[in-house]
């Protein structure tokens, strides 16, 4: 039977490069481009067919920042396919990004210069927006919309005899310091992108604990520092071109500067070729590029295990008002409310599986979340490709 891969955000950047590389690996693969902009999606499809004339490439329209669009796309995918072998959750946004020049100058002359240059921690801020579903746009696009898509495609993904893969595109900017389960959507912060990507890492772990026995496996990938439309929103393309030689020289000190979408897709393609049941769910797969342009995958054991201890939020019926930390907000539709609670419950289940017995009995009238971390030395494994 022909294998099927659905790729969100496939019209440009890493998503487009990934589709091309997947067909290089397996020309018989059916690639479904799940995109918001149909014009760009058709252009990508035409490019793929020009490179692989016999390829099977289809398009489904989806905007992961809109619940109605996600549910419509899920129904369309279920009508087209009997099962999915791969679901690449690649679509993402960074709203109104800004770089702090003062933070860069201050950081470059400090002991955290390497950390800043490799993760951009503390350098960027964003002005987030609220969607029609009354959710933060970055949170809904980068995480929640994909979560809803997964839950609606469970019949196509869960099969013990033929395991399926979820592959999330995370980021080097996924920093624990910018994430708080008391402010799950990052309504009160200025680094929503970093928060959403760290939440993605946590969600992947929780999904593995819940769905591995049903034949569904989740992995997280970091593409490195890549020049895409998202980075062009931070600085104009001309400025990045001027900086490109400097960024290339950074490879002398760190391997995370993959720079091109083709290089950034390295870890995603590597995962495509692996058996999901043999992968460690507590690692992150990094696309890396050497100074001389050699691509490889680095598996980094999480130095701080993702032990999430939380008490789920209470539901106030019939008002259907939910509490997130000290913020109360009303979700627009009952369906949005249902999936929001499912995402929170998933992390609650992660807590019950990992928390000591004494902590399992804790209850609270409102959401109160404690993130506990147990230090462990990082382990790194390189895979040359």
How many other CB atoms are there within 10 angstroms of residue 61's CB atom? 15
CA distances from 184 to 136, 163, 255, 345 (A): 10, 30, 31, 13
Candidates 86, 114, 193, 340; catalytic one: 193
Beta-strand relationship, 216-222 and 98-99: unpaired
C-alpha torsion angle, residues 132, 36, 34, 138 (rounded to 10): -50
Task: Decide: residue 182, CB within 10 A, 0-12 exposed, 13-18 middle, 19+ buried.
Answer: middle
The token duo for 330 is 């009303």
List C-alpha distances in Å: 306 to 52, 63, 71, 301. Answer: 41, 29, 30, 11
What element of type H or E holds 88? strand 86-89
Cα 191–chain centre separation? 15
Q: Write out the two tokens for 245.
A: 């030689």
Tell me the residue ranges of DSSP E strands in 90-230: 98-99, 124-125, 164-169, 216-222
Contact 258, 288 (CB under 8 A): yes
- By the 10 Å C-beta count (0-12 exposed, 13-18 middle, 19+ buried), 97 is classed as buried
- The torsion of the CA quartet 219, 371, 199, 173, rounded to 10 degrees, works out to -90
Handedness of CA 49, 55, 60, 63 (dihedral sign): negative
Q: Is 339 a catalytic residue?
A: no
User: Residues with catalytic annotation?
Assistant: 193
């Amino acid at each position: 039977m022909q294998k099927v891969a659905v790729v969100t955000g496939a019209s440009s950047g890493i998503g487009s490069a990934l589709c091309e590389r997947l067909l290089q690996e397996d020309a018989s693969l059916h690639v479904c481009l799940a995109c918001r902009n149909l014009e760009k999606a058709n252009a990508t499809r035409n490019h793929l067919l020009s490179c692989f004339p016999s390829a099977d490439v289809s398009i489904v329209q989806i905007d992961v920042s809109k619940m109605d669009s996600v549910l419509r796309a899920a129904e369309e995918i279920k009508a087209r396919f009997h099962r999915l072998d791969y679901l690449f959750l690649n679509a993402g946004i960074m709203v109104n990004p800004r770089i702090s020049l003062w933070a860069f100058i201050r950081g470059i002359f400090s002991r955290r210069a390497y950390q800043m240059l490799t993760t951009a921690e503390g350098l960027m801020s964003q002005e987030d927006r609220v969607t029609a579903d009354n959710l933060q746009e970055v949170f809904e696009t980068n995480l929640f919309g994909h979560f809803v898509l997964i839950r609606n495609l469970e019949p196509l993904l869960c099969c013990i005899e033929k395991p399926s893969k979820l592959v999330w595109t995370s980021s080097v900017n996924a920093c624990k310091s910018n994430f708080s389960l008391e402010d799950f959507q990052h309504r009160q912060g200025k680094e929503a992108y970093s928060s959403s990507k760290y939440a993605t890492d946590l969600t992947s772990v929780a999904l593995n604990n819940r769905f591995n026995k049903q034949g569904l496996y989740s992995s997280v990938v970091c593409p490195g520092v890549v020049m895409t439309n998202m980075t062009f929103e931070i600085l104009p393309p001309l400025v990045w071109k001027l900086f490109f030689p400097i960024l290339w020289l950074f490879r002398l000190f760190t391997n995370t500067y993959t720079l091109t979408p083709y290089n950034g897709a390295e870890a995603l393609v590597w995962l495509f070729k692996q058996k999901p049941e043999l992968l460690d769910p507590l690692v992150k797969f990094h696309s890396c590029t050497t100074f001389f342009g050699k691509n490889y995958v680095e598996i980094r054991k999480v130095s701080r295990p993702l032990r999430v201890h939380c008490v789920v939020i209470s539901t106030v019926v019939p008002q259907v008002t939910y509490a997130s930390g000290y913020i109360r907000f009303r979700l627009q539709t009952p369906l949005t409310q249902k999936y929001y609670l499912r995402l929170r419950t998933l992390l609650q289940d992660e807590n019950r599986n990992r928390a000591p017995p004494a902590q399992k009995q804790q209850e609270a009238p409102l959401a109160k979340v404690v993130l506990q971390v147990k230090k462990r030395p990082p382990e790194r494994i390189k895979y040359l490709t």
